[in-house]
Amino acid sequence: ASGYYRVVKENRNLYNMVQDLKGNIRVYCRIRPSFSPETKNIIDFIGEDGTLVILDPLKPQKEGKKVFQFNRVFGPTATQDEVFKDTQPLIRSVMDGYNVCIFAYGQTGSGKTHTMSGPPGGSMKDRGINYLALNYLFQLSNKRKDMINYDIHVQMVEIYNEQLEIRSCTSDNGFCLPDATMRTVKSTTEVLNLMKFGEVNRAVSSTAINNRSSRSHSVLTVHVHGEDTSGNILRSCLHLVDLAGSERVDKSEVTGDRLKEAQYINKSLSCLGDVIMALAQKNSHIPYRNSKLTLLLQDSLGGHAKTLMFAHVSPEEDSFGETVSTLKFAQRVSTVELGVARLNRESRDVMQLKEQIESLKKALAKKE
Ligand code: ADP
Ligand code: MG
């Protein structure tokens, strides 16, 4: 068995290398632990190679098997560190000048926030990708400081009912969002404080299942600017996205604000799917403008960026319907092949000229 695992492992490393070259979309599935041992568990098999088999609780064993294939499947016992380990190469490539987008998809209660932020309350134990990624970025920045001088800016944004709300930033030199502001951060502690502030600002009760956080998209954006000793400049950004719950809301049961929210969520999640599919089909028109979410992620969702989607599922049988629909969506995304990821690295002269063009364009737009 150990020989088999070694081969699988080596294949996976090779696979990651090829993926790096192609810069296409990766899809990881994560299954959270079951919280009710008395209910049936629908997980049948998790393969080292990214295979996942689930069982339809209403069908006899054999007929009820559904097989899915992802780049990787994390079972209920997978730790935050294990999950991060497979994400780390992507984070590293941000420091090399690639744009990266990581998003957590799945129904409410499936573990999206756990993966991205960690458990509620913000204890240091089990911190999620947001923290681990930033920590790693600072480590790399420190390690390379004799060769490259990095500047790291962070932005926290919430999209609720197609409205962008800036959650925790002070005014600096926002250049990604129309009115956005950014904050330069020098250490993980500063980021932690920023995140806490953002979370408080998000003003949600973590107990109610239908709280606002499950109905809004939360985006943590990291802008990296680096300059090496010979004047080459790299500029890249990393989006870390905790999406709104993907569950379908029974329209006959909700009215008013809840209905409006459900419609906005449907719209933005399906726009995300449309954008990914349009990229896959290499359409000339990519419908980024159809939702705030895709507009915000535009620079890191193109063929030149690297994208990682975490598809979250609950293992309990009463989630079967939503689990299947999450896995189907994720499977569709994972078959997408994007182009070659592009390095955003140029000489200082070219970068300065480009910046000049941009500011002239802005000045012109103001005049008109
Ligand atoms: P979502 O953000 O998708 O609505 P949460 O991340 O809030 O879901 O997860 C729901 C509950 O399950 C939370 O109490 C969370 O701490 C817990 N949980 C989720 N994933 C895990 C995991 N892998 N290990 C332990 N607890 C988890
Ligand atoms: Mg959540």
DSSP 316: B
Nearest-atom number in ligand 1 for the CA of 116 is 6
- For residue 242, what are its two tokens? 């905790």
**Cβ atoms within 10 Å, residue 346:** 16
Residue from 343, 228, 328, 260 nearest 27 by CA: 328
Q: Residue 323 Cα, ligand 1 centroid: separation in angstroms?
A: 15
Contacts of 51 (CB under 8 A, 6+ apart): 45, 67, 68, 69, 73
Q: How far is CA 297 from the centre of its chain?
A: 10
The partner residues of 242 in beta bridges, in order of sequence, read: 104, 218
Q: Distance between CA atoms of 59 and 244, rounded to whole angstroms? A: 31
**pTM of the predicted model as reported, rounded to 2 decimal places:** 0.83
Task: State whether the beta carbon of 128 lies less than 6 angstroms from ligand 1.
Answer: no
Specify the residue for token string 């400081």: 145
- pLDDT in tens for each of the 368 residues of the chain? 344 444 444 554 554 555 554 446 889 999 999 998 899 999 999 999 999 999 999 998 888 999 999 999 999 999 999 999 999 999 998 998 889 999 999 999 999 999 998 887 767 789 899 989 999 999 999 999 999 999 988 888 888 888 776 554 433 333 344 334 456 677 777 777 766 655 544 444 343 444 667 888 988 889 899 998 888 899 899 999 999 999 887 766 677 777 888 888 888 888 998 888 887 777 888 898 888 888 888 877 776 788 899 999 999 999 999 999 999 999 988 876 655 566 677 777 777 787 788 888 888 888 77
- For residue 144, what are its two tokens? 């390379």
Grouping H, G, I as helix, E, B as strand and the rest as coil, residue 197 is helix
Grouping H, G, I as helix, E, B as strand and the rest as coil, residue 286 is coil
Nearest-atom number in ligand 1 for the CA of 110 is 3
Note whether 159 and 237 are within 8 A (CB). Answer: no
Residue from 102, 129, 100, 135 nearest 114 by CA: 129
Q: How far is CA 368 from the centre of its chain?
A: 37
**Cβ atoms within 10 Å, residue 273:** 15
Contacts of 131 (CB under 8 A, 6+ apart): 117, 118, 188, 191, 192, 195
Q: Residue 124 Cα, ligand 1 centroid: separation in angstroms?
A: 16
Q: Distance between CA atoms of 117 and 84, rounded to whole angstroms? A: 12
**Cα angle at 147 between 145 and 148, to 5 degrees?**
65
Note whether 107 and 314 are within 8 A (CB). Answer: yes
Specify the residue for token string 């799917």: 273
Task: State whether the beta carbon of 112 lies less than 6 angstroms from ligand 1.
Answer: yes
Strand 216-228 relative to strand 65-69, pairing: unpaired
**ipTM value for the complex:** 0.99
Q: Which of 43, 108, 114, 158 to mutate to test the pocket of ligand 1 (most atoms within 8 A of CB)?
A: 114
